[in-house]
Amino acid sequence: MVDAAATRDRDDAFAVTRVGSGWRVEVHVANVADVVPVAGTADARAFARRASMYRRSGTTPMLGPEVEAATTLVPGVDRRTVRFDIELDHAAAVTKTTLSRSWTQGRAAALTYTAAAAVLADPAAPLHAEVLAAQQLATRPTAREASAGRLAPVGRHGYAGSLPTLR
């Protein structure tokens, strides 16, 4: 996972792997539906809040602290997730997708944006290959973007590839 240092509710993580001339992307999203009963207290709270609120005085989790604690993806802790497997070819065109229920199996690694940049800069760093693959994919224009003249997408933090990573 790559998030701001202050982020508390880490609800998604992914891994990017080079496969031949293409990529395999594995995205895990916290499976809140397995923890929050429909029409229950946490469901009603989430509906009313719509999102976690980050203020100078503190954070108010959308689902409440108990549900946040049970669903946040944490390094070394198994969590239920909804998993998307996406295969892309050399031009970053999606060739296959799969959706399933899964577990993180304790594989989530939490990185800040600064730490991710440091991993990219150090080929000997753990996770370097994974973060580099994510950065390469994020900076590669899709075939449609390339035909429209777009050179590369750039993330909101000023560089492409600011994406969460699984080990």
With a CB cutoff of 8 Å and minimum separation 6, the contacts of 126 are 119, 167
Domain boundaries along the sequence of the chain: 2-32+75-166
**Per-residue confidence in pLDDT tens, the chain, 167 aa:** 787 777 777 888 888 999 999 999 999 998 888 888 888 888 888 888 888 787 888 888 787 788 888 888 888 888 889 999 999 998 888 999 999 999 888 777 888 889 999 999 999 999 999 999 998 888 877 666 666 665 555 444 444 444 444 44
Task: Please tell me whether residue 22 adopts helix, strand or coil conformation.
Answer: strand
**Which structure tokens are listed for 33?**
């539906």
Give residue 165's Cα distance to chain centre.
Answer: 7
> Does the reported pTM lie above 0.75?
no
What one-character-per-residue DSSP string does 23-87 give? EEEEEEEE-GGGTS-TTSHHHHHHHHH-S-EEETTEEE-TT-HHHHHHHS--TTS--EEEEEEEE
